[in-house]
Structure 1
Amino acid sequence: MIINADDLDVEHTYKLLIATIVPRAIGWVSTLSRDGVANLAPFSFFTVVGRKPPVLSLTMQHRSDGVTLKDSFVNIRDTGEFVTNLVTLPLAGAMHKTAMEFPSEEDEFEKAGLEKAQSEVVRVPRVALAPISMECKLERYFTVGDYEDHVVWGRVVRFHIRDDVYLEGGRIDTAALAPVGRLAAEYSLVNNVFTTPLDPQAIDVWSTRRMERLDGKPSDFSAVAQKNWSASGSVLSDQEAP
Protein backbone atom coordinates (compact mmCIF):
# COMPACT_ATOMS: atom_id res chain seq x y z
CA MET A 1 0.00 0.00 0.00
CA ILE A 2 1.41 3.37 -1.05
CA ILE A 3 -0.52 6.45 -0.02
CA ASN A 4 0.06 9.93 -1.37
CA ALA A 5 -0.09 12.24 1.65
CA ASP A 6 -1.33 15.09 -0.55
CA ASP A 7 -4.52 13.11 -1.29
CA LEU A 8 -5.49 12.76 2.39
CA ASP A 9 -7.66 15.05 4.48
CA VAL A 10 -6.42 16.13 7.90
CA GLU A 11 -8.31 13.45 9.84
CA HIS A 12 -6.96 10.54 7.78
CA THR A 13 -3.45 11.99 7.89
CA TYR A 14 -3.70 12.26 11.67
CA LYS A 15 -4.90 8.66 11.96
CA LEU A 16 -1.91 7.42 9.98
CA LEU A 17 0.57 9.50 11.95
CA ILE A 18 -0.63 8.45 15.39
CA ALA A 19 -0.78 4.78 14.39
CA THR A 20 2.66 4.63 12.80
CA ILE A 21 4.77 6.84 15.06
CA VAL A 22 4.56 4.62 18.12
CA PRO A 23 5.04 4.45 21.00
CA ARG A 24 4.98 8.16 21.78
CA ALA A 25 5.93 9.76 25.06
CA ILE A 26 3.12 11.66 26.76
CA GLY A 27 3.74 15.21 27.87
CA TRP A 28 1.23 15.65 30.69
CA VAL A 29 1.26 19.42 30.78
CA SER A 30 0.16 21.55 33.67
CA THR A 31 -0.36 25.27 33.15
CA LEU A 32 -1.91 28.23 34.93
CA SER A 33 -4.22 30.81 33.37
CA ARG A 34 -3.82 34.53 33.87
CA ASP A 35 -6.68 34.28 36.36
CA GLY A 36 -4.87 31.55 38.31
CA VAL A 37 -6.96 28.57 37.13
CA ALA A 38 -4.87 25.39 36.89
CA ASN A 39 -5.08 23.33 33.71
CA LEU A 40 -3.79 19.83 33.04
CA ALA A 41 -3.81 18.01 29.68
CA PRO A 42 -1.84 15.26 27.90
CA PHE A 43 -0.04 15.72 24.58
CA SER A 44 1.70 12.94 22.67
CA PHE A 45 3.32 15.16 20.06
CA PHE A 46 6.06 15.62 22.64
CA THR A 47 9.82 15.23 22.52
CA VAL A 48 13.26 16.67 23.32
CA VAL A 49 14.77 19.17 20.89
CA GLY A 50 17.85 20.43 22.75
CA ARG A 51 20.37 19.36 25.38
CA LYS A 52 22.15 22.47 26.70
CA PRO A 53 19.98 24.18 27.67
CA PRO A 54 17.46 21.32 27.82
CA VAL A 55 14.51 22.16 25.56
CA LEU A 56 11.26 20.24 25.14
CA SER A 57 8.81 20.45 22.24
CA LEU A 58 5.01 20.19 22.34
CA THR A 59 2.66 20.35 19.38
CA MET A 60 -0.89 21.45 20.19
CA GLN A 61 -3.86 21.29 17.88
CA HIS A 62 -7.08 23.25 18.29
CA ARG A 63 -10.01 21.92 20.26
CA SER A 64 -12.33 19.42 18.57
CA ASP A 65 -14.29 22.26 16.92
CA GLY A 66 -11.16 22.98 14.85
CA VAL A 67 -11.21 26.67 15.78
CA THR A 68 -10.85 27.24 19.53
CA LEU A 69 -7.33 27.28 20.95
CA LYS A 70 -6.64 24.76 23.68
CA ASP A 71 -6.34 26.15 27.19
CA SER A 72 -2.84 24.71 27.55
CA PHE A 73 -1.54 26.75 24.62
CA VAL A 74 -3.34 29.93 25.68
CA ASN A 75 -1.93 29.64 29.20
CA ILE A 76 1.62 29.00 28.00
CA ARG A 77 1.39 31.89 25.53
CA ASP A 78 0.01 34.24 28.17
CA THR A 79 2.22 33.29 31.14
CA GLY A 80 5.35 31.83 29.55
CA GLU A 81 5.39 28.83 31.90
CA PHE A 82 4.41 25.17 32.05
CA VAL A 83 5.32 21.87 33.68
CA THR A 84 5.50 18.41 32.09
CA ASN A 85 4.66 15.45 34.33
CA LEU A 86 5.58 11.83 33.63
CA VAL A 87 2.59 9.51 33.20
CA THR A 88 2.90 6.17 34.98
CA LEU A 89 0.42 3.31 35.19
CA PRO A 90 -1.16 4.40 38.52
CA LEU A 91 -1.78 7.85 36.99
CA ALA A 92 -3.07 6.69 33.59
CA GLY A 93 -6.77 6.90 34.47
CA ALA A 94 -6.47 10.44 35.79
CA MET A 95 -4.37 11.43 32.79
CA HIS A 96 -7.04 10.15 30.40
CA LYS A 97 -9.68 12.14 32.25
CA THR A 98 -7.69 15.34 31.77
CA ALA A 99 -7.85 14.79 27.99
CA MET A 100 -11.54 15.75 28.15
CA GLU A 101 -12.53 19.23 26.99
CA PHE A 102 -13.47 20.97 30.23
CA PRO A 103 -14.53 24.63 30.31
CA SER A 104 -11.60 27.02 30.74
CA GLU A 105 -12.73 28.11 34.20
CA GLU A 106 -12.58 24.56 35.61
CA ASP A 107 -9.50 23.13 37.32
CA GLU A 108 -8.50 19.77 35.77
CA PHE A 109 -6.52 18.79 38.87
CA GLU A 110 -9.76 18.91 40.81
CA LYS A 111 -11.75 17.16 38.08
CA ALA A 112 -9.27 14.29 38.02
CA GLY A 113 -8.88 14.15 41.82
CA LEU A 114 -5.16 14.93 41.68
CA GLU A 115 -3.06 16.57 44.37
CA LYS A 116 -0.96 19.57 43.37
CA ALA A 117 2.65 20.12 44.37
CA GLN A 118 4.36 23.49 44.36
CA SER A 119 7.03 24.17 41.77
CA GLU A 120 10.26 25.97 42.60
CA VAL A 121 10.71 28.50 39.79
CA VAL A 122 7.41 28.69 37.92
CA ARG A 123 3.98 29.42 39.40
CA VAL A 124 2.46 26.38 37.70
CA PRO A 125 1.71 23.42 40.03
CA ARG A 126 3.07 19.91 39.45
CA VAL A 127 1.26 16.58 39.71
CA ALA A 128 2.27 15.53 43.21
CA LEU A 129 2.33 11.79 42.48
CA ALA A 130 4.29 12.05 39.22
CA PRO A 131 7.75 10.56 39.80
CA ILE A 132 9.32 13.05 37.39
CA SER A 133 8.24 16.59 36.52
CA MET A 134 10.02 19.33 34.60
CA GLU A 135 9.44 23.02 35.14
CA CYS A 136 9.67 24.90 31.83
CA LYS A 137 9.93 28.48 30.65
CA LEU A 138 8.60 29.33 27.19
CA GLU A 139 11.45 29.55 24.69
CA ARG A 140 9.37 30.18 21.55
CA TYR A 141 6.22 29.11 19.75
CA PHE A 142 5.26 28.96 16.08
CA THR A 143 2.63 27.42 13.82
CA VAL A 144 2.97 24.53 11.39
CA GLY A 145 0.80 23.49 8.44
CA ASP A 146 -2.51 24.45 6.89
CA TYR A 147 -4.37 24.02 10.18
CA GLU A 148 -1.86 26.06 12.17
CA ASP A 149 -0.90 23.51 14.79
CA HIS A 150 1.03 25.32 17.50
CA VAL A 151 4.55 24.13 18.31
CA VAL A 152 5.80 25.18 21.74
CA TRP A 153 9.43 24.97 22.82
CA GLY A 154 10.10 25.18 26.52
CA ARG A 155 13.42 25.42 28.35
CA VAL A 156 13.64 23.13 31.35
CA VAL A 157 14.66 25.12 34.42
CA ARG A 158 14.06 22.50 37.13
CA PHE A 159 13.89 18.71 37.20
CA HIS A 160 11.82 17.14 40.00
CA ILE A 161 12.83 13.48 40.37
CA ARG A 162 11.55 11.17 43.08
CA ASP A 163 14.48 10.13 45.26
CA ASP A 164 14.02 6.38 44.84
CA VAL A 165 14.33 6.51 41.04
CA TYR A 166 17.38 8.80 40.95
CA LEU A 167 20.55 6.73 40.79
CA GLU A 168 24.23 7.43 41.25
CA GLY A 169 25.83 9.21 38.32
CA GLY A 170 22.69 11.06 37.32
CA ARG A 171 20.91 7.98 35.98
CA ILE A 172 17.20 7.21 36.28
CA ASP A 173 15.91 3.77 37.29
CA THR A 174 13.59 3.55 34.29
CA ALA A 175 12.70 -0.07 35.05
CA ALA A 176 11.00 1.11 38.24
CA LEU A 177 8.80 3.77 36.62
CA ALA A 178 6.02 1.79 34.85
CA PRO A 179 5.82 4.57 32.22
CA VAL A 180 2.84 4.83 29.89
CA GLY A 181 3.12 5.73 26.20
CA ARG A 182 0.63 6.49 23.45
CA LEU A 183 -0.38 4.14 20.63
CA ALA A 184 -2.79 5.73 18.15
CA ALA A 185 -5.77 6.48 20.44
CA GLU A 186 -4.78 3.95 23.12
CA TYR A 187 -2.03 3.56 25.68
CA SER A 188 0.83 1.16 26.27
CA LEU A 189 2.59 0.16 29.47
CA VAL A 190 6.35 0.00 29.01
CA ASN A 191 7.09 -3.17 30.97
CA ASN A 192 9.97 -4.87 29.16
CA VAL A 193 13.49 -3.96 28.09
CA PHE A 194 16.20 -5.55 25.97
CA THR A 195 19.55 -5.02 24.39
CA THR A 196 20.64 -6.39 21.03
CA PRO A 197 21.40 -8.86 19.65
CA LEU A 198 18.39 -10.89 20.71
CA ASP A 199 18.15 -14.64 20.38
CA PRO A 200 16.51 -15.43 16.98
CA GLN A 201 13.93 -17.60 18.70
CA ALA A 202 12.86 -14.70 20.90
CA ILE A 203 12.57 -12.48 17.82
CA ASP A 204 10.40 -15.05 16.06
CA VAL A 205 8.08 -15.36 19.06
CA TRP A 206 7.68 -11.67 19.83
CA SER A 207 7.56 -10.25 16.30
CA THR A 208 4.45 -12.29 15.45
CA ARG A 209 2.64 -11.90 18.76
CA ARG A 210 -0.18 -9.37 19.10
CA MET A 211 0.03 -6.91 21.97
CA GLU A 212 -1.57 -8.07 25.18
CA ARG A 213 -4.55 -6.00 26.31
CA LEU A 214 -4.57 -5.05 29.99
CA ASP A 215 -8.18 -3.80 29.87
CA GLY A 216 -9.91 -7.05 28.94
CA LYS A 217 -11.21 -5.75 25.61
CA PRO A 218 -11.14 -7.92 22.45
CA SER A 219 -7.76 -8.06 20.71
CA ASP A 220 -9.17 -6.24 17.67
CA PHE A 221 -10.70 -3.36 19.68
CA SER A 222 -9.87 0.07 18.23
CA ALA A 223 -10.29 3.27 20.21
CA VAL A 224 -10.14 5.30 16.99
CA ALA A 225 -13.35 3.57 15.84
CA GLN A 226 -15.28 4.76 18.92
CA LYS A 227 -17.73 7.65 18.63
CA ASN A 228 -16.07 9.62 21.42
CA TRP A 229 -12.75 9.75 19.57
CA SER A 230 -11.78 13.05 17.96
CA ALA A 231 -9.05 14.05 15.56
CA SER A 232 -7.99 16.78 17.98
CA GLY A 233 -6.65 14.23 20.44
CA SER A 234 -9.27 15.29 22.99
CA VAL A 235 -11.68 12.92 24.70
CA LEU A 236 -15.21 14.06 23.94
CA SER A 237 -16.88 12.10 26.73
CA ASP A 238 -15.92 9.99 29.72
CA GLN A 239 -17.83 7.01 28.32
CA GLU A 240 -16.84 4.70 25.49
CA ALA A 241 -19.40 4.56 22.71
CA PRO A 242 -19.96 1.50 20.54
Structure 2
Amino acid sequence: MIIEANQVNSTEIYHTLTQVIIPRPIAWVLSPNDEAGSSHNLAPFSFFNVVCSDPPILMLSIGSKSDGSMKDTCHNLLEYKRCVIHIAANHQAQMVSDSAAELARGESELTLTGQTLMPFDGTGLMRLPDAPVALACRLHQHIEVGNRPQNLLLVEVERIWIDDAVCRRDAKGRMRFEADRIKPLARLGGTEYATLGELFSIRRS
Protein backbone atom coordinates (compact mmCIF):
# COMPACT_ATOMS: atom_id res chain seq x y z
CA MET A 1 0.00 0.00 0.00
CA ILE A 2 1.17 3.50 -0.85
CA ILE A 3 -0.41 6.54 0.82
CA GLU A 4 0.21 9.97 -0.67
CA ALA A 5 0.08 12.19 2.41
CA ASN A 6 -1.03 15.27 0.50
CA GLN A 7 -4.01 13.45 -1.01
CA VAL A 8 -5.77 12.38 2.20
CA ASN A 9 -7.28 14.52 4.93
CA SER A 10 -5.63 15.30 8.25
CA THR A 11 -7.87 12.91 10.19
CA GLU A 12 -6.84 9.98 7.99
CA ILE A 13 -3.18 10.93 8.31
CA TYR A 14 -3.53 11.16 12.11
CA HIS A 15 -5.06 7.68 12.33
CA THR A 16 -2.42 6.27 9.98
CA LEU A 17 0.53 7.77 11.85
CA THR A 18 -0.75 6.76 15.29
CA GLN A 19 -1.15 3.17 14.12
CA VAL A 20 2.29 2.82 12.52
CA ILE A 21 4.49 5.03 14.73
CA ILE A 22 4.31 2.54 17.58
CA PRO A 23 4.80 2.03 20.42
CA ARG A 24 4.88 5.59 21.74
CA PRO A 25 5.82 6.57 25.30
CA ILE A 26 3.14 8.39 27.26
CA ALA A 27 3.72 11.63 29.13
CA TRP A 28 1.19 11.75 31.99
CA VAL A 29 1.31 15.49 32.65
CA LEU A 30 0.30 17.15 35.89
CA SER A 31 0.04 20.93 35.67
CA PRO A 32 -1.28 23.59 38.05
CA ASN A 33 -4.58 25.22 37.14
CA ASP A 34 -3.70 28.35 39.11
CA GLU A 35 -0.70 30.19 40.51
CA ALA A 36 -1.20 28.75 43.99
CA GLY A 37 -1.43 25.16 42.76
CA SER A 38 -4.75 24.67 44.54
CA SER A 39 -6.12 22.70 41.58
CA HIS A 40 -4.39 20.53 38.98
CA ASN A 41 -4.94 19.23 35.48
CA LEU A 42 -3.84 15.68 34.62
CA ALA A 43 -3.68 14.50 31.01
CA PRO A 44 -1.80 11.92 28.89
CA PHE A 45 0.06 12.74 25.65
CA SER A 46 1.76 10.24 23.36
CA PHE A 47 3.27 12.80 21.00
CA PHE A 48 6.15 12.90 23.48
CA ASN A 49 9.85 12.12 23.71
CA VAL A 50 13.31 13.25 24.84
CA VAL A 51 15.04 15.59 22.38
CA CYS A 52 18.18 16.77 24.21
CA SER A 53 20.34 15.69 27.15
CA ASP A 54 22.41 18.87 27.66
CA PRO A 55 20.30 20.52 28.91
CA PRO A 56 17.75 17.74 29.45
CA ILE A 57 14.78 18.71 27.27
CA LEU A 58 11.60 16.79 26.55
CA MET A 59 9.03 17.43 23.81
CA LEU A 60 5.26 17.53 24.13
CA SER A 61 3.04 18.08 21.11
CA ILE A 62 -0.46 19.16 22.12
CA GLY A 63 -3.45 19.71 19.85
CA SER A 64 -6.68 21.56 20.56
CA LYS A 65 -9.92 20.59 22.25
CA SER A 66 -12.80 19.44 20.05
CA ASP A 67 -14.19 23.00 20.03
CA GLY A 68 -10.85 24.37 18.82
CA SER A 69 -9.86 25.93 22.16
CA MET A 70 -6.49 25.36 23.80
CA LYS A 71 -6.13 22.26 25.96
CA ASP A 72 -5.71 22.95 29.67
CA THR A 73 -2.22 21.40 29.86
CA CYS A 74 -0.97 23.77 27.16
CA HIS A 75 -2.72 26.76 28.76
CA ASN A 76 -1.23 25.93 32.15
CA LEU A 77 2.29 25.48 30.81
CA LEU A 78 2.19 28.75 28.92
CA GLU A 79 0.72 30.57 31.93
CA TYR A 80 2.62 29.03 34.85
CA LYS A 81 5.67 27.52 33.10
CA ARG A 82 5.87 24.36 35.25
CA CYS A 83 4.65 20.76 35.06
CA VAL A 84 5.44 17.26 36.27
CA ILE A 85 5.64 14.53 33.65
CA HIS A 86 5.01 11.02 34.94
CA ILE A 87 5.80 7.72 33.28
CA ALA A 88 2.78 5.56 34.03
CA ALA A 89 3.05 1.85 34.79
CA ASN A 90 0.91 -0.65 32.92
CA HIS A 91 -1.43 -1.22 35.87
CA GLN A 92 -2.43 2.46 35.60
CA ALA A 93 -3.78 2.09 32.04
CA GLN A 94 -7.42 2.71 32.95
CA MET A 95 -6.59 5.85 34.94
CA VAL A 96 -4.42 7.14 32.09
CA SER A 97 -7.28 6.60 29.66
CA ASP A 98 -9.83 8.18 32.02
CA SER A 99 -7.65 11.25 32.49
CA ALA A 100 -7.83 11.93 28.74
CA ALA A 101 -11.47 13.00 29.18
CA GLU A 102 -12.24 16.49 27.89
CA LEU A 103 -13.40 18.51 30.90
CA ALA A 104 -14.34 22.13 31.33
CA ARG A 105 -11.52 24.57 32.05
CA GLY A 106 -10.43 24.27 35.69
CA GLU A 107 -12.05 20.90 36.36
CA SER A 108 -9.57 18.34 37.64
CA GLU A 109 -9.10 14.84 36.27
CA LEU A 110 -7.80 13.87 39.71
CA THR A 111 -11.38 13.87 40.96
CA LEU A 112 -12.45 11.80 37.95
CA THR A 113 -9.72 9.19 38.48
CA GLY A 114 -9.81 9.20 42.29
CA GLN A 115 -6.11 10.00 42.64
CA THR A 116 -4.30 11.99 45.30
CA LEU A 117 -1.09 14.00 45.16
CA MET A 118 2.01 14.32 47.30
CA PRO A 119 4.75 16.98 47.41
CA PHE A 120 7.56 16.60 44.90
CA ASP A 121 10.42 17.36 47.28
CA GLY A 122 12.66 20.24 46.28
CA THR A 123 10.43 21.54 43.49
CA GLY A 124 7.44 23.31 45.03
CA LEU A 125 5.30 21.06 42.83
CA MET A 126 3.14 18.00 43.43
CA ARG A 127 3.37 14.52 41.94
CA LEU A 128 1.39 11.30 41.70
CA PRO A 129 2.60 8.91 44.42
CA ASP A 130 2.08 5.69 42.44
CA ALA A 131 3.81 6.45 39.12
CA PRO A 132 7.33 4.92 39.05
CA VAL A 133 8.95 8.00 37.45
CA ALA A 134 8.23 11.72 37.82
CA LEU A 135 10.11 14.58 36.14
CA ALA A 136 9.71 18.16 37.33
CA CYS A 137 9.95 20.41 34.29
CA ARG A 138 10.01 24.08 33.35
CA LEU A 139 8.86 25.48 30.01
CA HIS A 140 11.85 26.05 27.71
CA GLN A 141 10.24 26.96 24.40
CA HIS A 142 6.84 27.08 22.69
CA ILE A 143 6.52 26.59 18.94
CA GLU A 144 3.38 26.47 16.81
CA VAL A 145 3.53 23.95 13.97
CA GLY A 146 1.07 22.81 11.33
CA ASN A 147 -2.12 24.23 9.91
CA ARG A 148 -4.37 24.14 13.00
CA PRO A 149 -1.78 24.79 14.62
CA GLN A 150 -0.32 22.16 16.97
CA ASN A 151 1.49 23.37 20.09
CA LEU A 152 5.03 22.04 20.35
CA LEU A 153 6.25 22.54 23.92
CA LEU A 154 9.85 21.96 24.89
CA VAL A 155 10.29 21.53 28.63
CA GLU A 156 13.55 21.34 30.57
CA VAL A 157 13.85 18.66 33.24
CA GLU A 158 14.90 20.16 36.58
CA ARG A 159 14.51 17.23 38.99
CA ILE A 160 13.78 13.52 38.59
CA TRP A 161 12.14 11.19 41.09
CA ILE A 162 12.49 7.45 40.43
CA ASP A 163 11.02 4.74 42.64
CA ASP A 164 13.82 2.91 44.47
CA ALA A 165 12.11 -0.37 43.58
CA VAL A 166 13.06 0.05 39.91
CA CYS A 167 16.71 0.96 40.56
CA ARG A 168 19.83 -1.15 41.03
CA ARG A 169 23.60 -0.81 40.81
CA ASP A 170 25.46 -3.00 38.34
CA ALA A 171 28.78 -4.78 38.91
CA LYS A 172 30.67 -1.57 38.11
CA GLY A 173 28.65 0.46 40.60
CA ARG A 174 26.66 2.29 37.93
CA MET A 175 23.01 3.08 38.57
CA ARG A 176 20.62 1.17 36.34
CA PHE A 177 16.88 1.66 35.96
CA GLU A 178 15.11 -1.58 35.15
CA ALA A 179 12.55 -1.35 32.35
CA ASP A 180 10.86 -4.58 33.47
CA ARG A 181 10.34 -3.04 36.92
CA ILE A 182 9.16 0.34 35.64
CA LYS A 183 6.68 -1.54 33.40
CA PRO A 184 5.92 1.56 31.30
CA LEU A 185 2.62 1.81 29.50
CA ALA A 186 2.89 2.46 25.75
CA ARG A 187 0.40 3.94 23.30
CA LEU A 188 -0.67 2.36 20.03
CA GLY A 189 -3.48 3.47 17.70
CA GLY A 190 -7.16 3.88 18.47
CA THR A 191 -7.98 2.57 21.95
CA GLU A 192 -5.00 0.20 22.05
CA TYR A 193 -2.15 0.26 24.56
CA ALA A 194 0.81 -2.06 25.03
CA THR A 195 3.21 -3.34 27.67
CA LEU A 196 6.87 -4.14 27.12
CA GLY A 197 6.56 -7.86 26.46
CA GLU A 198 9.86 -9.68 25.92
CA LEU A 199 13.05 -7.74 26.65
CA PHE A 200 16.36 -8.58 24.96
CA SER A 201 19.82 -7.11 24.49
CA ILE A 202 22.01 -7.02 21.39
CA ARG A 203 25.75 -7.30 21.82
CA ARG A 204 27.80 -4.66 20.07
CA SER A 205 30.16 -6.12 17.48
Tell me if TM exceeds 0.5: yes
Shift of 1:34: 2.3
C-alpha deviation, 1:151, in angstroms: 0.4
Partner of residue 56, structure 2? 54
Match of 1:106, SS state, is coil
Quick check: 1:31–1:75 contact (8 Å CA) kept in 2?
yes
Q: List alignment gaps of at least 5 residues for structure 2.
A: none
Q: Give the match's secondary structure for 1:125.
A: strand
Alignment equivalent of 2:201, drawn from 195, 201, 210: 195
Contact 2:29 2:83 survives alignment (8 Å): yes
Contact 1:121 1:135 in 2 (8 A): no
Give 1:28-43 correspondences, 5 Å limit: 28-34=28-34, 36=37, 37-43=39-45
Post-superposition Cα deviations, 1:145-194, rounded to whole Å, max 9, x if no partner, equal 11110000000000000112122212101111221100112100113212
Give the aligned partner of residue 129 of structure 1. 130
- Which residue number corresponds to residue 25 of structure 2? 25
CA deviation after TM superposition for structure 1 residue 22, in Å: 0.1
Counterpart position of 1:233: none
Is contact 1:5–1:13 with CA below 8 Å preserved after alignment? Answer: yes
Letter in 2 for 1:170: M
TM-score, normalising length from structure 1?
Answer: 0.77
**1:148 corresponds to:** 149
Name which of structure 1's ranges 120-129 and 28-37 shifts more when overlaid on structure 2.
120-129
Do structure 1's residue 178 and structure 2's residue 183 form an aligned pair?
yes
The amino acid that maps onto 1:2 is: I
Q: 2:4 is matched with which residue?
A: 4
Matched, 1:72 2:73: yes
Separation (CA, whole Å) in 2 of partners of 1:146 and 1:61: 11
How big is the shift at 1:123?
Answer: 4.1
Residues 40 and 98 in structure 1, CA contact (< 8 A), matched pair in contact too: yes
Offset at 1:5? 0.7
Supply the distance in 2 between the matched residues of 1:15 and 1:90 (Cα, whole angstroms): 25
Contact conserved, 2:123 with 2:159, CA < 8 A, in 1?
Answer: no
The match for 1:240 is none
Which amino acid counterpart does residue 12 of structure 1 have in structure 2? E
- Partner residue in 2 for 1:216: none
Gaps of 5+ in 1: 198-242
Match of 1:14 in 2: 14
Q: Secondary structure at the match of 2:42?
A: strand
SS state at 1:40 partner: strand
Give the secondary structure class of the aligned counterpart of 2:25.
coil
Deviation at 1:122, TM superposition (A): 4.1
Q: 1:124, 1:14 → 2: CA distance? A: 33
Q: Distance in 2 between matches of 1:8 and 1:121?
A: 48
**CA-to-aligned-CA distance 1:109-146 (integer Å, 9 cap, x gap):** 12101121212354442111001100001001111111
Contact 1:30 1:124 in 2 (8 A): no
Paired residues in the alignment total: 196
Distance 2:45 2:113 in 1: 16
Residue 114 of structure 1: aligned partner: 115
Give, in whole Å, the separation in 2 of the partners of 1:122 and 1:153: 19
Give the conservation status (yes or no) of the 8 Å contact 1:121–1:157: no
Match of 1:224 in 2: none
8 Å CA contact 2:18–2:188 kept in 1: the answer is yes
Q: Is the 8 A contact 1:122 1:136 kept in 2?
A: no
CA RMSD of aligned residues (A): 1.4
3-state SS of 1:147 partner: coil
Partner of 1:44: 46
The alpha-carbon distance between structure 1 residues 123 and 39, as it changes in their structure 2 partners (threshold 3 A), is: farther
